[in-house]
């Protein structure tokens, strides 16, 4: 069973912005590059990298999406109290 996941994310304020970013990801633009350019989270400077975390460390919607992803998979748009996220699982252990 996976006890920790490592993810990167892109956080934006509006669902419309998230849809634009998702379309760019689907065209093959680098997740890291888009995180640096578009994310309002300080992690954007690191390509969106949030490092490893266990269950119970993130808000429920974010955690549920992050743990459901396969390695290298990118989520759909995930809404939380902070805004709209696109999440990429980069590792698990």
The CA distances from residue 88 to 5, 30, 32, 47, in Å, are 10, 11, 10, 11
- d(CA 41, CA 24) in angstroms, rounded, equals 19
For 64, phi then psi, to 5°, come to -60, -45
What is the pTM (predicted TM-score) of this model? Answer: 0.96
Tens-digit pLDDT profile for residues 36-77: 999 999 999 999 999 999 999 999 999 999 999 999 999 999
Token pair of 12, please? 């934006």
* pLDDT given for residue 1 in this prediction: 75
Find tokens 């459901």 and name the residue. 68
- Comparing CA positions, the residue from 81, 88, 84, 78 lying closest to residue 30 is 88
Token pair of 23, please? 């379309």
Tens-digit pLDDT profile for residues 1-46: 789 999 999 999 999 999 999 999 999 999 999 999 999 999 999 9
At residue 78, does pLDDT exceed 80? yes
């Amino acid at each position: 069973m996976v006890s920790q996941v490592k993810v990167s994310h892109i956080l934006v304020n509006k669902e419309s912005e998230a849809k634009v970013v998702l379309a760019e990801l689907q065209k093959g633009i680098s997740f890291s590059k888009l995180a640096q350019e578009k994310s309002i989270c300080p992690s954007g400077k690191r390509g969106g990298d949030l490092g490893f975390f266990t269950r119970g460390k993130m808000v429920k919607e974010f955690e549920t999406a992050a743990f459901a992803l396969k390695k290298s998979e990118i989520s759909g748009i995930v809404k939380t109290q902070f805004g709209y996220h696109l999440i990429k699982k980069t590792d698990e252990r």
